[in-house]
Amino acid sequence: MTITIDIAPETEEKLQERARKSGADVAEYVKGLIDKDLTTPSLDEILRPLREEFQVSGMTEEELDTLVDEAREEVWQERQKTRRKVS
């Protein structure tokens, strides 16, 4: 497939510079960007299973907030212990 797009001169300069730094011509560089974008899962795709598990669990958002806060506090406490041992 061939696609033609108009871009601002400043954007074209940046694109050419990045392509040159990567060792590719502009077409190869842009193709690589597109391929990477289309093969990298979106944040929504990554989080979808977690959201589904949350819904099935029946847990409220308040309960989840509490759980996350408690876990964060535990991690902080562990880090403090480790720092005291190192000092």
- What is the average pLDDT value for the chain, to the nearest integer? 93
The residue assigned the tokens 């040159």 is 20
Write down the pLDDT at residue 82.
85
pLDDT tens for each residue of 6-18: 999 999 999 999 9
pLDDT tops 70 at residue 87: no
CA distance 16 to 26: 6
CA distance 21 to 84: 45
pLDDT level of residue 81 (50, 70, 90 thresholds): confident
Write down the pLDDT at residue 48.
96
pLDDT tops 90 at residue 57: yes
Contacts (Cβ under 8 Å, ≥6 apart) of 25: 19
The dihedral over CA atoms of 23, 28, 34, 40, expressed in degrees to the nearest 10, equals -50
Q: If you average pLDDT over residues 64-76, what whole number do you get?
A: 94
E-assigned strands of 1-87?
none
pTM here is 0.57
